[in-house]
């Protein structure tokens, strides 16, 4: 996959691509990227990228000319162009899976009060929100989306590591433990030390069900559980005293 990022703050993006799992994906050639500072596409002495909004109002709006020229320079019309914005479609794991199939993505990092609407109308394919809150930097939200996408591409992370993650199924992930066996007067659960794979698998399903039920009950409401998970969920409800009401 190739990723283009249009930004006024290249160093924020550069650090992400040069560290951790992303850096290894770049080294392997799984990911290629290009960071474009669209301030380079201004033509006045002050390199102005923003201006006051027509109709009045607080804040500034990013001007269309630098963005149009920057997008044309990389032939962004041949790419899927994404603009992270609080007013966009809510991002989730299914959305990340869909975007991970693309050969090329372009991100426009907004600032201030956003972009001139003509940029969105002419260029943007996806307006995406990463949650119901507002950030000061489009770079931050772009990195969140890119991070969720690139790790799903073949060769970046092993398939086994992805299988039990939160949202890879309807359930959240189970707790994880490592050495030492006892720390801060807390022990690793005995079942994980038993070597009994079936018991461990059952424990993990219960943990996932309980975690989801307590932290994200709306996920369970819409979940399509397999028969075994459904039985364990009913057992868990009985154990916790919740009863079976509301179980589809």
Single pTM value for the model: 0.84
**Sequential pLDDT tens for the chain (248 residues):** 999 999 999 999 999 999 999 999 999 999 999 999 999 999 999 999 999 999 998 899 999 999 999 999 999 999 999 999 999 999 999 999 999 999 999 999 998 888 999 999 999 999 999 999 999 989 999 999 999 999 999 999 987 777 666 555 678 889 999 999 999 999 999 999 999 999 998 899 889 888 888 898 888 777 777 777 777 777 777 776 654 444 43
Q: What does the alpha-carbon distance between residue 20 and residue 17 come to, in Å, rounded to a whole number? A: 8
Closest CA to 80 of 122, 120, 125, 36: 125
The DSSP line for 124-188 is: -SEEEESSSS--S-HHHHHHHHHHHHHTTSTTTS-HHHHHTSTTTSSSPPPP---S-SEETTEEP
Q: At 146, phi and psi to the nearest 5?
A: -60, -40
Q: Are 106 and 71 in contact (CB under 8 A)?
A: yes
């Amino acid at each position: 996959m190739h990723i283009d990022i249009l930004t006024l703050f290249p160093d924020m993006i550069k650090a992400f691509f040069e560290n951790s799992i992303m850096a290894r994906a770049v080294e392997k050639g799984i990911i290629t990227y290009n960071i474009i500072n669209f301030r380079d596409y201004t033509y006045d002495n002050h390199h102005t990228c923003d201006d006051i909004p027509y109709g009045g109002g607080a804040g500034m709006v990013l001007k269309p000319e630098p963005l149009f020229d920057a997008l044309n320079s990389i032939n962004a019309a041949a790419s899927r162009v994404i603009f992270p914005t609080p007013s966009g479609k809510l991002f989730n794991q299914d959305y990340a899976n869909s975007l991970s199939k693309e050969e090329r993505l372009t991100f426009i990092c907004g600032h201030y009060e956003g972009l001139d609407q003509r940029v969105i109308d002419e260029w943007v394919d996806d307006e995406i929100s990463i949650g119901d809150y507002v950030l000061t930097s489009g770079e931050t939200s772009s990195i969140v989306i890119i991070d969720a996408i690139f790790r799903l591409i073949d060769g970046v992370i092993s398939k086994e590591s992805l299988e039990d993650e939160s949202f890879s199924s309807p359930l959240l992930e189970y707790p994880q433990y490592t050495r030492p066996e006892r720390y801060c007067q807390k022990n690793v659960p005995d079942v994980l030390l038993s070597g009994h794979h079936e018991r461990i698998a059952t424990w993990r399903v219960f943990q996932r069900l309980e975690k989801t039920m307590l932290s994200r009950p709306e996920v369970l409401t819409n979940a399509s559980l397999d028969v075994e998970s459904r039985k364990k969920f009913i057992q868990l409800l009985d154990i916790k005293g919740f009863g079976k009401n509301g179980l589809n």
